[in-house]
Amino acid sequence: MKPARISLILFLTLVLVILVAAVAARKWPTRLANQQARQENQEIQSLPPVVSSIKGIEVISAFIDEKGSANITVINKTEKPIIGLSLSAGNMTFSDDNGISQDIPKILVAPNHSYTFQESITNIKGHGPIRVSAVFYADNSEEGDDTVRKNVHDERERQREKRIRAKEKNQLYEATPNR
Same domain for 143 and 112, yes or no, is yes
Q: What's the structural domain count of the chain?
A: 2
Q: In what order do the strands lie in the sheet with 114-120?
A: 57-64, 69-76, 114-120
Segments forming the whole domain that contains residue 81:
50-174
Same domain for 54 and 132, yes or no, is yes
Q: What is the pLDDT of residue 121?
A: 85
Mention every residue, 6+ apart, whose C-beta is less than 8 A from residue 80: 111, 137, 138, 139, 141
pTM listed for this prediction: 0.68
Same domain for 12 and 95, yes or no, is no
Q: What is the pLDDT of residues 53-90, one digit of tens each?
A: 999 999 999 999 999 899 999 999 999 999 999 999 88
Same domain for 78 and 1, yes or no, is no
- On whether residue 179 sits in a domain, the answer given is no
2: exposed, middle or buried (Cβ count in 10 Å: 0-12, 13-18, 19+) = exposed
The backbone torsions φ and ψ at residue 174, rounded to the nearest 5 degrees and listed phi first, read -70, -30
Tell me the range of 99-108, 138-147, 165-174 where mean pLDDT is highest: 138-147
